[in-house]
C-alpha cells in the first residue's frame, strides 16, 4: 500500500517481494468490506472486481429445519460483501 501511495504521489518507488508468486497457503483468499472500501476510495475497486471472485453478503444455516441468517453484511460500509478471490488472480 505504501508503495502504491508513494508512486501515486510521484515518488520513484520499487517494491521488493521475497517470493516470485502468490501461490502460498498462508496468503488469505478474502477481501473484507473495510479493505474493499479502501480500494473504492483509491479508485481501484472497478478494476479489482473485474478479476474472478465471488461475493458473500450473508450467511444462512439450517437449524432444526429452519433457515437462519447468522451473518448479514448489508449494514456495513459502502461495500456490503466479502470478496472471495484467489490472490494469484490479483
pTM of the model: 0.68
DSSP-assigned letter for residue 34: H
Would you state the pLDDT for residue 10? 96
Q: What residues does each domain of the chain span?
A: 30-90
pLDDT tens digits, residue range 57-86?
A: 999 999 999 999 998 988 877 788 888 887
Yes or no: say if 54 and 84 are a contact pair by the CB < 8 Å rule: yes
When comparing pLDDT for 23 and 7, which is higher? 7
- Given this model, what pLDDT does residue 22 score? 64
| Phi, psi of 36, rounded to the nearest 5 degrees | -60, -35
pLDDT, tens digit, for every residue of 17-48? 877 776 666 566 888 888 889 999 999 999 98
Amino acid at each position: 500500500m505504501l508503495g502504491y501511495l508513494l508512486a501515486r504521489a510521484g515518488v520513484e518507488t520499487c517494491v521488493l517481494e521475497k517470493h516470485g508468486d502468490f501461490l502460498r497457503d498462508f496468503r488469505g483468499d478474502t477481501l473484507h468490506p473495510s479493505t474493499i472500501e479502501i480500494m473504492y476510495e483509491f479508485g481501484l475497486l472497478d478494476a479489482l472486481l473485474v478479476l474472478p471472485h465471488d461475493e458473500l453478503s450473508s450467511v444462512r444455516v439450517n437449524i432444526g429445519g429452519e433457515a437462519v441468517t447468522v451473518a448479514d453484511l448489508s449494514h456495513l460500509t459502502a461495500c456490503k460483501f466479502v470478496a472471495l478471490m484467489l490472490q494469484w488472480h490479483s
